[in-house]
Amino acid sequence: MTDMSLMEALRVQRSIRSFSSRPVPEEALRAVLRAATWAPSAGNRQPWRFVVVRDPAAKRQIGLWYDDSSRATYGNRPGAAGSQPTFSDSPVIILVCIDAVSTNPGPRSDFYRGASIFPAMQNLMLAATALGLGTRPTTMHRHHETDIKRLLGIPDSVDVAAIVPLGYPGDGEHFGGKKRKPLSEVAFDGAWSKPLSR
Protein backbone atom coordinates (compact mmCIF):
# COMPACT_ATOMS: atom_id res chain seq x y z
CA MET A 1 0.00 0.00 0.00
CA THR A 2 1.16 3.54 -0.70
CA ASP A 3 0.55 6.29 1.80
CA MET A 4 0.67 10.10 1.92
CA SER A 5 0.53 12.78 4.59
CA LEU A 6 -2.88 13.89 5.83
CA MET A 7 -2.36 17.45 4.53
CA GLU A 8 -1.44 16.13 1.11
CA ALA A 9 -4.50 13.86 1.02
CA LEU A 10 -6.69 16.83 1.99
CA ARG A 11 -5.15 18.93 -0.77
CA VAL A 12 -5.47 16.44 -3.61
CA GLN A 13 -8.63 14.46 -2.80
CA ARG A 14 -11.28 15.14 -5.44
CA SER A 15 -14.25 13.47 -7.06
CA ILE A 16 -13.07 10.73 -9.41
CA ARG A 17 -15.57 10.07 -12.20
CA SER A 18 -14.08 7.11 -14.07
CA PHE A 19 -12.28 4.07 -12.77
CA SER A 20 -9.80 1.47 -13.92
CA SER A 21 -10.83 -2.19 -13.82
CA ARG A 22 -7.91 -2.96 -11.47
CA PRO A 23 -9.40 -4.69 -8.41
CA VAL A 24 -9.41 -3.00 -5.02
CA PRO A 25 -7.29 -5.06 -2.59
CA GLU A 26 -9.37 -6.43 0.27
CA GLU A 27 -6.83 -5.02 2.73
CA ALA A 28 -7.31 -1.52 1.28
CA LEU A 29 -11.10 -1.86 1.40
CA ARG A 30 -10.95 -2.75 5.06
CA ALA A 31 -8.46 0.08 5.74
CA VAL A 32 -10.77 2.75 4.28
CA LEU A 33 -13.81 1.37 6.13
CA ARG A 34 -11.84 1.27 9.37
CA ALA A 35 -10.79 4.90 8.82
CA ALA A 36 -14.47 5.79 8.35
CA THR A 37 -15.23 4.36 11.79
CA TRP A 38 -12.64 6.67 13.33
CA ALA A 39 -14.94 9.64 12.63
CA PRO A 40 -16.66 11.59 15.39
CA SER A 41 -20.43 11.22 15.90
CA ALA A 42 -22.92 12.83 18.26
CA GLY A 43 -22.79 11.04 21.61
CA ASN A 44 -20.30 8.63 20.01
CA ARG A 45 -23.35 6.68 18.82
CA GLN A 46 -21.53 5.58 15.65
CA PRO A 47 -24.70 5.33 13.54
CA TRP A 48 -22.79 4.47 10.34
CA ARG A 49 -23.32 1.22 8.52
CA PHE A 50 -21.58 0.36 5.25
CA VAL A 51 -22.81 -1.97 2.55
CA VAL A 52 -20.04 -3.03 0.15
CA VAL A 53 -21.39 -3.94 -3.29
CA ARG A 54 -19.18 -5.75 -5.79
CA ASP A 55 -21.78 -7.70 -7.78
CA PRO A 56 -21.83 -6.24 -11.34
CA ALA A 57 -25.58 -6.69 -11.76
CA ALA A 58 -26.35 -4.93 -8.47
CA LYS A 59 -23.94 -2.08 -9.29
CA ARG A 60 -25.51 -1.69 -12.72
CA GLN A 61 -29.05 -1.61 -11.31
CA ILE A 62 -28.13 0.94 -8.63
CA GLY A 63 -26.42 3.03 -11.33
CA LEU A 64 -29.57 2.96 -13.46
CA TRP A 65 -31.62 4.12 -10.47
CA TYR A 66 -29.06 6.86 -9.82
CA ASP A 67 -29.29 8.02 -13.45
CA ASP A 68 -33.08 7.97 -13.28
CA SER A 69 -33.03 10.06 -10.08
CA SER A 70 -30.60 12.43 -11.73
CA ARG A 71 -32.91 12.86 -14.73
CA ALA A 72 -35.88 13.40 -12.39
CA THR A 73 -33.91 16.17 -10.67
CA TYR A 74 -32.05 17.82 -13.53
CA GLY A 75 -33.80 16.61 -16.68
CA ASN A 76 -31.64 15.60 -19.61
CA ARG A 77 -29.24 18.50 -19.40
CA PRO A 78 -25.70 17.54 -20.47
CA GLY A 79 -23.72 15.99 -17.67
CA ALA A 80 -26.80 15.30 -15.55
CA ALA A 81 -26.45 11.58 -16.14
CA GLY A 82 -23.52 10.25 -18.12
CA SER A 83 -23.81 8.20 -21.29
CA GLN A 84 -22.48 5.11 -19.45
CA PRO A 85 -24.49 3.72 -16.57
CA THR A 86 -23.11 5.20 -13.37
CA PHE A 87 -21.11 2.95 -10.99
CA SER A 88 -20.63 0.07 -13.45
CA ASP A 89 -16.96 0.88 -14.00
CA SER A 90 -15.90 1.04 -10.34
CA PRO A 91 -14.92 -2.34 -8.86
CA VAL A 92 -16.71 -1.53 -5.61
CA ILE A 93 -19.46 0.80 -4.47
CA ILE A 94 -19.99 1.55 -0.81
CA LEU A 95 -23.41 2.51 0.48
CA VAL A 96 -22.86 4.87 3.38
CA CYS A 97 -25.87 4.29 5.60
CA ILE A 98 -27.07 5.78 8.86
CA ASP A 99 -28.97 3.70 11.36
CA ALA A 100 -30.28 6.82 13.03
CA VAL A 101 -33.51 5.46 14.46
CA SER A 102 -32.05 2.68 16.57
CA THR A 103 -28.98 4.60 17.67
CA ASN A 104 -30.35 8.10 18.08
CA PRO A 105 -34.05 8.13 19.01
CA GLY A 106 -36.15 11.27 18.90
CA PRO A 107 -36.85 13.81 16.18
CA ARG A 108 -33.72 15.30 14.71
CA SER A 109 -33.16 17.61 11.77
CA ASP A 110 -31.49 16.38 8.61
CA PHE A 111 -28.69 18.76 9.45
CA TYR A 112 -28.01 17.08 12.77
CA ARG A 113 -28.27 13.58 11.32
CA GLY A 114 -25.99 14.42 8.41
CA ALA A 115 -23.43 15.73 10.87
CA SER A 116 -22.98 12.19 12.25
CA ILE A 117 -22.49 10.45 8.91
CA PHE A 118 -20.66 12.78 6.53
CA PRO A 119 -17.47 13.01 8.64
CA ALA A 120 -17.25 9.20 8.33
CA MET A 121 -17.71 9.43 4.56
CA GLN A 122 -14.98 12.05 4.33
CA ASN A 123 -12.63 9.90 6.45
CA LEU A 124 -13.29 7.04 4.06
CA MET A 125 -12.54 9.19 1.01
CA LEU A 126 -9.37 10.67 2.50
CA ALA A 127 -8.06 7.25 3.49
CA ALA A 128 -8.77 6.02 -0.03
CA THR A 129 -6.84 8.97 -1.49
CA ALA A 130 -3.88 8.18 0.75
CA LEU A 131 -3.88 4.66 -0.71
CA GLY A 132 -4.14 5.91 -4.32
CA LEU A 133 -7.82 4.95 -4.62
CA GLY A 134 -10.40 7.26 -6.11
CA THR A 135 -13.86 7.98 -4.67
CA ARG A 136 -16.77 10.35 -5.23
CA PRO A 137 -19.50 11.38 -2.81
CA THR A 138 -22.91 10.89 -4.45
CA THR A 139 -26.40 11.44 -3.10
CA MET A 140 -28.49 11.46 -6.27
CA HIS A 141 -29.93 7.97 -5.65
CA ARG A 142 -32.46 9.28 -3.14
CA HIS A 143 -35.51 9.06 -5.45
CA HIS A 144 -34.89 5.30 -5.60
CA GLU A 145 -33.72 4.78 -2.04
CA THR A 146 -36.58 2.36 -1.27
CA ASP A 147 -35.74 0.24 -4.34
CA ILE A 148 -32.07 0.14 -3.35
CA LYS A 149 -32.92 -0.86 0.20
CA ARG A 150 -35.22 -3.63 -1.03
CA LEU A 151 -32.54 -4.93 -3.43
CA LEU A 152 -29.92 -5.19 -0.69
CA GLY A 153 -32.12 -6.10 2.29
CA ILE A 154 -31.45 -2.81 4.10
CA PRO A 155 -34.01 -2.24 6.90
CA ASP A 156 -36.60 0.54 6.52
CA SER A 157 -35.21 2.29 9.59
CA VAL A 158 -31.84 2.83 7.88
CA ASP A 159 -31.16 5.74 5.52
CA VAL A 160 -28.80 5.39 2.57
CA ALA A 161 -27.06 8.75 2.97
CA ALA A 162 -24.61 8.43 0.09
CA ILE A 163 -23.12 6.04 -2.42
CA VAL A 164 -19.35 6.16 -2.87
CA PRO A 165 -17.70 4.36 -5.80
CA LEU A 166 -14.21 3.12 -4.95
CA GLY A 167 -11.45 2.13 -7.34
CA TYR A 168 -8.18 3.14 -8.93
CA PRO A 169 -8.65 6.26 -11.09
CA GLY A 170 -9.29 5.60 -14.78
CA ASP A 171 -7.32 6.98 -17.73
CA GLY A 172 -7.25 10.76 -17.72
CA GLU A 173 -8.33 10.98 -14.09
CA HIS A 174 -6.05 12.64 -11.57
CA PHE A 175 -5.89 13.72 -7.97
CA GLY A 176 -5.42 17.42 -7.15
CA GLY A 177 -6.23 20.53 -9.16
CA LYS A 178 -9.57 21.09 -7.49
CA LYS A 179 -11.34 24.43 -7.79
CA ARG A 180 -11.96 26.26 -4.55
CA LYS A 181 -12.72 29.84 -3.54
CA PRO A 182 -9.83 31.72 -1.95
CA LEU A 183 -9.71 31.81 1.83
CA SER A 184 -10.32 35.58 1.77
CA GLU A 185 -13.85 34.94 0.39
CA VAL A 186 -14.86 32.41 3.00
CA ALA A 187 -13.01 33.25 6.23
CA PHE A 188 -13.46 36.35 8.36
CA ASP A 189 -11.31 37.85 11.03
CA GLY A 190 -13.28 38.88 14.10
CA ALA A 191 -16.28 40.22 12.12
CA TRP A 192 -18.17 39.20 8.98
CA SER A 193 -17.12 42.45 7.27
CA LYS A 194 -13.40 41.75 7.64
CA PRO A 195 -11.93 39.08 5.33
CA LEU A 196 -9.07 37.11 6.81
CA SER A 197 -5.95 38.46 5.15
CA ARG A 198 -3.42 36.15 3.53
Instruction: Give the count of alpha carbons within 13 A of 86, CB side only.
Output: 27
61 binds ligand FMN (CB under 6 A): no
Pick one of 85, 119, 132, 137: the residue that binds ligand FMN (CB under 6 A). 137
14 binds ligand FMN (CB under 6 A): yes
Helical (H) or strand (E) element with 165: strand 159-167
88 binds ligand FMN (CB under 6 A): no
Distance CA 163, CA 5 (A): 26
Pick one of 49, 59, 136, 144: the residue that binds ligand FMN (CB under 6 A). 136
20 binds ligand FMN (CB under 6 A): no
Q: Long-range contacts made by residues 3-8, C-beta under 8 angstroms, separation at least 24?
A: 3/130, 3/131, 4/129, 4/130, 6/126, 6/130
Is residue 24 a contact partner of residue 167, using CB atoms and an 8 Å limit?
A: yes
Closer residue to ligand FMN (CB): 126 or 140: 140
Q: Which residues in the 94-133 window bind ligand FMN by CB under 6 A?
A: none
Count of residues that interact with ligand FMN, criterion CB under 6 A: 8
Instruction: Write down the least CB distance from residue 161 to ligand FMN, Å.
Output: 9
144 binds ligand FMN (CB under 6 A): no
Pick one of 1, 15, 34, 112: the residue that binds ligand FMN (CB under 6 A). 15
Q: Where are the beta strands (DSSP E) in 31-157?
A: 48-53, 92-98, 134-135
Is residue 47 a contact partner of residue 121, using CB atoms and an 8 Å limit?
A: no
140 binds ligand FMN (CB under 6 A): yes
Secondary structure (H, E, C), 77-113: CCCCCCCCCCCCCCCEEEEEEECHHHHCCCCCCHHHH
Pick one of 178, 184, 187, 189: the residue that binds ligand FMN (CB under 6 A). 178
Pick one of 46, 139, 151, 170: the residue that binds ligand FMN (CB under 6 A). 139
List residues near ligand FMN by CB under 6 A. Answer: 14-15, 136-140, 178
